[in-house]
Homo-oligomer: A and B are copies of this chain.
Amino acid sequence: MTYTPGLHLLVTAHTPPGSTLLHSHEAWKDFIRNAIAAHGLTEVGASFHDFPGGGFTGVICLTESHISIHTWPEYGLFTYDVFLSNFRRNNDATTQRLLDETLRFFEATHHALTSLRR
């Protein structure tokens, strides 16, 4: 049987008018690092970039794969991926929880979800 690394959840999500959380990466970086620690995941690298005029990109590499975000504050929109492999333990529930916590953090009003078993 082919090995199946884990669950990859992808959303494109919308925030309330006037939200400032999409402008720069600092607040999200603090939030996600706390969440990573709370879920017992392990960071092995990261990259953050704020765009002139607003919006940011952030990626956290984990031993369990990665979390990525791209924001477009001018459209009140962000894309978000959580991909956790099940190499050491089954992380499916954690993948879903991390996504739910993120949507709450940004007070997302609605989102489109793709769930990919890969």
Interface residues of A (CB under 8 A from B): 2-3, 5, 8, 10, 12, 14, 44-49, 51, 57, 59, 61, 63, 65-66, 68, 70, 72, 75, 77, 79, 81, 83, 85, 112, 114, 116, 118
Q: Could you list 16 further interchain pairs (A-B, Cβ under 8 angstroms) beyond the known A2-B14, A3-B77?
A: A2-B77, A3-B72, A8-B79, A10-B118, A44-B49, A44-B57, A45-B49, A45-B57, A45-B59, A46-B47, A47-B61, A57-B61, A59-B61, A70-B83, A114-B116, A114-B118
CA distance A46 to B81 in the complex (A): 17
Those 4 A-B pairs whose CB atoms lie nearest each other, nearest first: A45-B47, A3-B75, A44-B49, A12-B118
Chain B residues whose C-beta falls within 8 Å of the C-beta of A112 in the assembled complex: 118
B44, A45: Cβ atoms under 8 Å? no
A52 to chain B, nearest CB (A): 10
Chain B residues whose C-beta falls within 8 Å of the C-beta of A10 in the assembled complex: 8, 116, 118
A59, B77: Cβ atoms under 8 Å? no
Nearest chain-B residue to A68 (Cβ)?
Answer: B66
CA distance A117 to B59 in the complex (A): 20
